[in-house]
Amino acid sequence: MNIGLYFGSFNPIHTGHCIIASHVLANTPLEQVWLVVTPHNPFKNEQSLLNEYDRLYLVQLAIAGEGGLRGSDIEFHLNKPSYTVHTLVHLKEKYPQHDFSIIMGSDSYQNLPKWKNSGYIQGNHSIYIYTRPGFPAETGGNGKVILLDAPLLEISSTRIREYVRKKKNIRYLVPDKVQEEIEKNGYYK
């Protein structure tokens, strides 16, 4: 099976994440998209993160009933901080029958050379890139890099957390069940 890995802190997951995952699944040869919740991204401050199990639960709420989309806790069981290359090697050992590709925004793709063992990642895995405003992406003739014309919304998890702190409405920015869970548990206040 060809599986796309959409990595993120998902702090919290929002409507833009869901649209990208659904679009990629519908418009590529990928048979599943796993939203991989990263417990600690080495490029982000760990202090601002909601507990990883709560973030995973929000992801599962957001994609419930969506065939082909799955929340993944694979990085919860690996050393922290999370490095994509370690996750990919682990997945290949655990699921040798599957092919794993990466889904990322053009902003992350521009930072890929700074990632641990980025050459290994680029040489061994297809990368599906959706363009983010202000971050043009080129394949450089690499057949493993596929540019997607995906719908984009200017929504950020940072803005959502700020809205929650300021008691502003986040309806339509996150799926309804995610909003209910955030409000019920007082997340991000």
Instruction: Give the model confidence (pLDDT) of 95-150 as tens digits.
Output: 999 999 999 999 999 999 999 999 999 999 999 999 888 888 877 767 699 999 88
- The two most distant CA atoms of the chain are separated, in Å, by 49
What pTM value is reported for the model? 0.94
Any residues with CB less than 8 A from the CB of 4 and at least 6 apart, and which? Answer: 24, 25, 28, 30, 32, 33, 34, 100, 101, 102, 103, 128
* Residues 150, 102: Cα–Cα separation, whole Å: 15
* Residues 136, 17: Cα–Cα separation, whole Å: 19
